[in-house]
Amino acid sequence: PTEIKRICCIGAGYVGGPTMAMIAHKCPQIDVTVVDINPQRIAQWNSDELPIYEPGLDEIVKEARGRNLSFSTNVDQGIDQAEMVFISVNTPTKTFGVGAGRAANLEYVEKCARQIARVSTGHKIVVEKSTLPVRTAEAVKRILSSGETKASFQVLSNPEFLAEGTAIDDLLAPDRVLIGGECANAIESLVNIYANWVPRERLLTTNLWSSELSKLTANAFLAQRVSSINAISALCEATEADVDEVARAIGTDSRIGPKFLKSSVGFGGSCFQKDILNLVYLCEYFGLPEVANYWEQVVAMNDYQKRRFVTRILRTMFNTVSDKKIGIWGFAFKKDTNDTRESAAIYVCRDLLLEKARLDIYDPKVPQDQIKRDLMWALTDQGAMSSEQAQAAIEENVRFADGCLPSATDAHAIAVLTEWDEFADVDFQAVHQVMKKPAFVFDGRNVLKDMDLRQLGFDYYGIGF
């Protein structure tokens, strides 16, 4: 196998940044360059304020940066100098044309492949790190070998299984690393890199297509567990069963297992919905409508769960939240990240704004500008509002607090939308004092369940009990 001395990663995002920082950290003999077309992002990676928040990331980046880890906007040079090129660009859901709303938009991946073909000389190993529809490597190979490229290529699939919020721990000790390919030598080159810190038995090798499909399948199964327990949460609320007790009861069955059985206001993040819809599209494309319908229900259940949460707020608050202040605690799609992509909070806040509620939002890591952009998008999506109306609604009815207590002050209700640890440390007696009465708390993450809020005088509602 080729010994890899220089790696280039195209895409300095939530995946490219942390994964490459880990390789640089664990393999001081390898030079790692992360390139991106977004100059602002690269500048942030080169500054003290990294563009993404992830526990433990700062230390690793600051240790390796300047030694064998660099961030640059010079994509051509990065590709040219590397023996191995990772493609880690975004693959969002298509918003236009054939497959809109389902298929993956492979524009960025294809542009990368064309650029690699154009600037490469000699032999290069191209690694798909982005999550891609099965058979994408076919297209990547054809693009790489078309035109008058002077280079030869091997394509590998190496999907990333890290979860935001625990990326560094996941990268340090992955359950497995998956490498799909056609050429034993190329596979071995990548295996040798991971073998610097991952035990050999956790390095799984497969054919290209199994590897590509496994990533979509893993996310579909994970999201399915959440939607399954969320479906049961609705039934719990109707029957005085408690979804956390049910989850514990079934999770102790070793065939089911305890993880990913936490009921909530709904899953979010940039991946689950996008990847399932991608899977759904693939099934339709390959003439398997029954399989497509089966998986699509996982997303449908998640949409229902978000709507259901708002409906419960409305019903409980005497069918109107108009001109009532609601303290929103948490906006990120989960704790320990500043990422808001597909966060349940976006949809809950949108629906509350459409009901003319006044929101006072607090999130420890998400910048206000990001929240405004997300709400702007959500309010104008599918013509719910014109951009002028959305702008006015946000200006009039969205405020930002710098803590839980200010967010609760004079509020009729609190809605907890992210499971940030610090929410459990709040002085709820003080919160109760500053709120309007009855003081409603809607806990979309069941994180305040053990705080005896009802005893303190709150009208407390969680998910699934």
Which of 6-14, 240-248, 286-294, 398-406 is the region at the interface with ligand NAI (rule: CB under 6 A)? Answer: 6-14
- Ligand-binding annotation for 13, yes or no, is yes
Nearer to ligand NAI, 90 or 446 (CB): 90
Write down the least CB distance from residue 340 to ligand NAI, Å. 12
Which of 158-166, 236-244, 296-304, 353-361 is the region at the interface with ligand NAI (rule: CB under 6 A)? Answer: 158-166
- Ligand-binding annotation for 78, yes or no, is no
- Ligand-binding annotation for 96, yes or no, is no
Considering the rule CB under 6 A, would residue 38 count as an interface residue with ligand NAI?
yes
- Ligand-binding annotation for 47, yes or no, is no
Nearer to ligand NAI, 64 or 113 (CB): 113
Considering the rule CB under 6 A, would residue 10 count as an interface residue with ligand NAI?
yes
* 3-state per-residue secondary structure call for the chain: CCCCCEEEEECCCCCHHHHHHHHHHHCCCCEEEEECCCHHHHHHHCCCCCCCCCCCHHHHHHHHECCCEEEECCHHHHHHHCCEEEECCCCCECCCCCCCCCCECCHHHHHHHHHHHHHCEEEEEEEECCCCCCCHHHHHHHHHHCCCCEEEEEEEECCCCCCCCCHHHHHHCCCCEEEECCCHHHHHHHHHHHCCCCCHHHEEEECHHHHHHHHHHHHHHHHHHHHHHHHHHHHHHHHCCCHHHHHHHHHCCCCCCCCCCCCCCCCCCCCHHHHHHHHHHHHHHCCCHHHHHHHHHHHHHHHHHHHHHHHHHHHHCCCCCCCCEEEEECCCCCCCCCCCCCCHHHHHHHHHHHCCCEEEEECCCCCHHHHHHHHHHHHHHHHCCCHHHHHHHHHHHEEECCCHHHHHCCCCEEEECCCCHHHHHCCHHHHHHHCCCCCEEEECCCCCHHHCCCCCCCEEECCCC
Q: 369: closest CA among 394, 344, 336?
A: 394
Nearer to ligand NAI, 79 or 310 (CB): 79
Write down the least CB distance from residue 15 to ligand NAI, Å. 4
Considering the rule CB under 6 A, would residue 15 count as an interface residue with ligand NAI?
yes
Write down the least CB distance from residue 163 to ligand NAI, Å. 6
Considering the rule CB under 6 A, would residue 111 count as an interface residue with ligand NAI?
yes
- Ligand-binding annotation for 216, yes or no, is yes
Nearer to ligand NAI, 274 or 358 (CB): 274
The footprint of ligand NAI on residues 362-421 (CB under 6 A) is: none
Q: Crossing angle, helix 344-354 and helix 289-316, to 10 degrees?
A: 50
Q: Which of 4, 13, 340, 464 binds ligand NAI (CB under 6 A)?
A: 13
The footprint of ligand NAI on residues 256-285 (CB under 6 A) is: 270-271
Nearer to ligand NAI, 119 or 345 (CB): 119
Q: In this structure, are residues 53 and 167 in contact, taking their beta carbons and an 8 Å threshold?
A: no
Structure tokens at 144: 């790489």
Q: Which of 31, 54, 164, 244 binds ligand NAI (CB under 6 A)?
A: 164
Write down the least CB distance from residue 459 to ligand NAI, Å. 36
Q: Which of 26, 108, 202, 308 binds ligand NAI (CB under 6 A)?
A: 108
- Ligand-binding annotation for 142, yes or no, is no
- Ligand-binding annotation for 191, yes or no, is no
Handedness of CA 334, 337, 339, 340 (dihedral sign): positive
| Interatomic CA distance for residues 340 and 370, integer angstroms | 8
Question: Which positions from 42 to 81 touch ligand NAI by CB under 6 A, shown as an x/- string?
Answer: ---------------------------------x------
Q: 120: closest CA among 87, 80, 74, 70?
A: 80
- Ligand-binding annotation for 92, yes or no, is yes
Q: Which residue lies nearest ligand NAI, judged by its C-beta?
A: 13
Write down the least CB distance from residue 388 to ligand NAI, Å. 29
Nearer to ligand NAI, 163 or 195 (CB): 163
| Interatomic CA distance for residues 204 and 219, integer angstroms | 18
Considering the rule CB under 6 A, would residue 90 count as an interface residue with ligand NAI?
yes
Considering the rule CB under 6 A, would residue 89 count as an interface residue with ligand NAI?
yes
- Ligand-binding annotation for 200, yes or no, is no
Question: What is the residue whose two structure tokens read 């035990």?
Answer: 199
Catalytic residue list contains 27: no
Q: Which of 8, 27, 271, 283 is catalytic?
A: 271
How many amino acids of this chain bind ligand NAI (CB under 6 A)? 27
| Interatomic CA distance for residues 108 and 148, integer angstroms | 21
- Ligand-binding annotation for 341, yes or no, is yes
Q: Which residues bind ligand NAI (CB under 6 A)?
A: 10-16, 35-38, 41, 75, 88-91, 108, 111-112, 130-131, 160, 162, 164, 270-271
* Binding residue ranges for NAD(+): 11-16, 36, 41, 89-93, 130-131, 164, 271-274, 341
Q: Which residues are catalytic?
A: 271
* Binding residue ranges: 11-16, 36, 41, 89-93, 130-131, 160-164, 215-219, 255, 262-268, 271-274, 333-334, 341, 445
